[in-house]
Structure 1
Amino acid sequence: MSSFAHPEHVQHYINGQFVESASGKRFENVNPFTNKVINTVAEGDKEEIDRAVKAAREAFDHGPWRTMSVNERLSYLYKIADLIDQAADEIAYLESLDTGLPIKQTQKQAARAAENFRFYAEMVKSRLHGEAYQKDNDFINYTIYKPVGVAGLITPWNAPFMLETWKVAPALATGNTCILKPAEWSPLTAHKLAEIVNEAGLPSGVFNVVHGFGETAGASLVAHPDVQLISFTGETVTGSEIIKNGADTLKRYSMELGGKSPIIVFEDADFERAVDACIFGIFSFNGERCTANSRLFVQSSIKEQFIDALLERLPHIVVGDPMDSNTEVGPLIHRVHQQRVLEYLKIAESEGAEVVSGHVPIAYRDGNFVPPTVLLNVTNEMRVAQEEIFGPVLAVMLFDTEEEAIRLANDVKYGLASYIWTNDIKRAHRVAQSIEAGMTWINSQNVRDLRIPFGGAKYSGIGREGGHYAFEFYTETQVIHVAIGDTPIPKFGKLKV
């Protein structure tokens, strides 16, 4: 893996060309494992956003993308998927280098990214069709789905390549043009995606990438009057600011925001599987996962057995070099984020929780490591039970009855995901339907089927992505009414004879 090279400098990709910022400004991209500079990145601002939007607007209004045949347009998506497959090892390496995610996990993300393009190509062919409604012999009314225009896609730094393709694929498949604003902490694979798109030969302006900071490049993209769509994945406060900043231009928004997801383990659960799922759900992806089961509610009757099992496994979780295939937890994305997570461990102690942490080898002290951590003696009103920590930290709480489990699980502002473990199938359905969450898994870890909708309730988001549900966001539904009979038309202003 280490044989792959990374670019010494990352440029924007605008109107089919790799370009510098007009200002000449750059920022440094830092390796989370060593905290050494990987490379520099062009820092985009309003001017680069304006250039990218102009290119995307021209490509949509006057270019061939929207008007070419569906099969021709989708052929580009299949070519992008093939090129991703060919570069999968390089993409996994760049992703681990940039984010600190273990290479064993980024390899799976690269494969998933290619699948995103093939999946949406197939979905457009099989599901993007209208309906017809005939009214007697007088009218036929039918619907068609049209691309909306220019999409602004703002993506996070956790699993960046997969999440970028998850937005780009449906945007392009439905005929929109787009500007991708990747997270400034993880620019490498966004740049690789631009290289792949360029190699695939998409018409100029259809796909653009502007690097930079949310306060400047991101805000300019959101506020731009020629951008009709904003798809954002990230933190809830940022999502709220985005909606405010773009309010004057009446955009469509798709918001996949924060989470504080519960995992509820009843006494009759398949014990070993529940332990495995709980550990995987919070410690995979370094805990930097929006759907992580960061709040464990375990029934009091099995509390000692379940907590003992967690704590027994904790020191055996392999923390280390993200490029090592044995590593299960790597460094967090950035020193700033590491300090934020560590501050929550101090808050937990101040609130009366017991902090039990795993082990980080001393050789890795230069990295942004937070050891896998379990918080005991937590109550649901504590900050560590209510606020999204976004790291490898599990808050453990107890419940006695089904009703109490539901009440505690819902007593939080977020509602993205939830997990239920019980062998009582009636109870499983009752509890699942009572949880305020966009997604619930029963007796399962976090697994994704691309056909299902993805999104949250309450402060966890607006709208749904995934499957054909993404078409509601990326397309405009037009109704066309056709008179086929001679139904009389009311006459206004008829002259008297």
Structure 2
Amino acid sequence: MEKVLYINGEWSGTELKKIEVLNPANGELVGTVASAGKEETRAAIEAAHEAFGPWSRLTAYDRSSYLDRLYDLMMEQKDEIAEIMTKEMGKPLKESLGEVQYAASFIRWYSEEGKRVYGRSIPASHENKRMQVIKQPVGVVAAITPWNFPAAMITRKLGPALAAGCTFIVKPPKETPLTAIKLVELCEEAGFPKGVVNLLTGPSSVIAEEIMDSDKVKKVTFTGSTEVGKMLIEQSAKTVKNVSMELGGHAPSIVLDDADLDKAVRGIIASKFRNAGQTCICINRVYVHENKYEEFTKLLVEETRKLKVGNGMDEGTDIGPIINRDGYEKIKQHVDNAVEKGADCVLGGKGKDEGNACFYEPTILKDVNHDMLIMNEETFGPVLPVQKISTDEEGIELANKSPFGLAAYVYTESLSRGTRLIEGLDYGIIGWNDGVPSAAQAPFGGFKESGIGREGGTEGMEAYLETKYVSIVI
């Protein structure tokens, strides 16, 4: 299928150069999209700028009704959205269906949360003064989204932005633009006014440059690598843009000797091998107390061995393809480096390069240490390294030994020990006996080089609002 750009309520760009979208499971052509340039980007910015005034003046209830319609459409067409996602991204169809529901939950949450944007009155210092704080939408928002969650990473930004009264431009990645296009088609079907939602596909460098240079774009929200995020932060200084950044991670998990090992293994597998390990908050390294180290590793291998690798459209698939060859080569490098430096590969350790598609077996590495690449760099693949620790304090120290601070996980049945762990870990999201902590109603974001700001929850709404203080003499 051929799709084009969506600017000011119109589909356009049929005359532009096309970008092919390939299925990472078999290399087959899934569709083509238009390649936008500077002119198209400027047109989208202008459309969003013109639409901002009327959209921001609607009542929160009016904006909520549009989001409610979008939510209903996503639920009605969830099977179609999921199939598009699996074909262009590769994740198993059951995971894609789960993502569509997760993505829609942000639309539903912010449909309601938009009605709860409150200001306040401040006690005045003089009897003839009145002091007020009001909240207003920040303005035109540009979202640059990643390929690993093609729907949820859009709606997590789209929902609060539109509910707050902002207008929206989305730039999806070249790997997974078709899911984004389908969501924008549903926005059109839901009846959003022209210019409120706009879509640009094409080269990131060209589109991002126009967005960052424009003084009409008031906020940029980005999910992606720390390297690109830092570059965008630098560029934002030219117009002092408001930015939200959800960047890289290297999530640790600490398993103490009082942990319920069945619970720990289930949670760690759910976190690590979802999306073939290609998630920002998946567990990347496990620190296990020496008293449970052998027992835990044995159980982990037994359960991980049950996972099936294959095409995401095939029934029973648990782990789909790696998104591209660069990702595949990085996984191989991390495993080879760990084995060369003494790690014991107790499960997996092999990939399958089919020329037009790459797969990697679920892999467990035992007896790793921090001299190995895999303990210092985000692998983004189905590989789990396990290291022995002697004390709770050692676990905290090793877990914090990273420039990233997005997510961490702890497994213990002790309230006292668990509390010390979660308070000592320098991470923005912590799962305590929980391998899947994300939810629309909860804040999502990291410490250190893992980002700026939060998405989800009430914090996610605040990210799209400006605070205005008014002092009145009567």
Task: Give the structure-2-normalised TM-score.
Answer: 0.96
Structure 1 segments unaligned to the other structure (5+ residues): 1-7, 485-497
For 2:119, give the aligned amino acid: G
**Cα contact 1:274–1:421 (8 A) shared by 2:** yes
For 1:12, give the aligned amino acid: L
1:406 aligns with 2:387: no
Deviation of the 1:366 alpha carbon: 5.2
Structure 2 segments unaligned to the other structure (5+ residues): none
| 1:169-212, Cα deviation, whole Å (9 max, x unpaired) | 11111110111000110011101011101111111111001011
1:457 aligns with 2:450: no
In structure 1, distance between residues paired with 2:343 and 2:211: 42
Q: Which residue of 2 aligns with 1:19?
A: 12
1:426-465 matches, within 5 Å, as 426-465=416-455
In structure 2, distance between residues paired with 1:171 and 1:21: 29
In structure 1, distance between residues paired with 2:301 and 2:59: 58
1:184 aligns with 2:177: no
Deviation of the 1:107 alpha carbon: 0.6
Identity level (%): 37
| 1:123-170, Cα deviation, whole Å (9 max, x unpaired) | 111x20111113263322111111111101011001111111111111
| 1:254-285, Cα deviation, whole Å (9 max, x unpaired) | 01111111110011100111111111111111
Cα RMSD of the aligned pairs, angstroms, is: 1.8
**Cα contact 1:152–1:222 (8 A) shared by 2:** no
Q: Which residue of 1 aligns with 2:121?
A: 132
Q: Which residue of 1 aligns with 2:366?
A: 376
Match of 1:35 among 27, 31, 35: 27
Match of 2:56 among 66, 72, 96: 66
Q: Which residue of 1 aligns with 2:408?
A: 418
1:261 aligns with 2:247: no
Say which is worse superposed, 186-195 or 473-482, in terms of deviation: 473-482
In structure 2, distance between residues paired with 1:10 and 1:218: 21
What SS does the corresponding residue of 2:31 show, helix, strand or coil?
strand
What SS does the corresponding residue of 2:327 show, helix, strand or coil?
helix
In structure 1, distance between residues paired with 2:401 and 2:371: 9
Say which is worse superposed, 440-449 or 268-277, in terms of deviation: 440-449
Cα distance, 1:234–1:361 mapped onto 2, change above 3 Å:
closer
Q: Which residue of 2 aligns with 1:494?
A: none
**Cα contact 1:320–1:364 (8 A) shared by 2:** no
Q: Which residue of 2 aligns with 1:476?
A: 466
In structure 2, distance between residues paired with 1:86 and 1:162: 17
In structure 1, distance between residues paired with 2:215 and 2:338: 44
Q: Which residue of 2 aligns with 1:166?
A: 156
Deviation of the 1:356 alpha carbon: 4.2
For 1:57, give the aligned amino acid: H
Deviation of the 1:223 alpha carbon: 2.9
Deviation of the 1:406 alpha carbon: 0.8
In structure 2, distance between residues paired with 1:116 and 1:32: 27
For 1:110, give the aligned amino acid: V
Q: Which residue of 2 aligns with 1:54?
A: 46
For 1:93, give the aligned amino acid: E
For 1:129, give the aligned amino acid: Y
Deviation of the 1:481 alpha carbon: 1.5
In structure 1, distance between residues paired with 2:315 and 2:122: 57
1:9 aligns with 2:2: yes
Cα distance, 1:81–1:476 mapped onto 2, change above 3 Å:
same
| 1:76-118, Cα deviation, whole Å (9 max, x unpaired) | 1111111111111101111111111111111111112222112
Deviation of the 1:214 alpha carbon: 2.0
**Cα contact 1:134–1:141 (8 A) shared by 2:** yes
Cα distance, 1:365–1:422 mapped onto 2, change above 3 Å:
farther
What SS does the corresponding residue of 2:296 show, helix, strand or coil?
helix
1:301 aligns with 2:291: yes
What SS does the corresponding residue of 2:291 show, helix, strand or coil?
helix
Q: Which residue of 2 aligns with 1:5?
A: none
**Cα contact 2:45–2:216 (8 A) shared by 1:** yes
In structure 2, distance between residues paired with 1:250 and 1:141: 27
| 1:33-78, Cα deviation, whole Å (9 max, x unpaired) | 10122221111122221110011111114xx211122222221111
1:170-249 matches, within 5 Å, as 170-249=160-239
Cα distance, 1:362–1:144 mapped onto 2, change above 3 Å:
closer
In structure 1, distance between residues paired with 2:397 and 2:284: 17
In structure 2, distance between residues paired with 1:361 and 1:352: 20
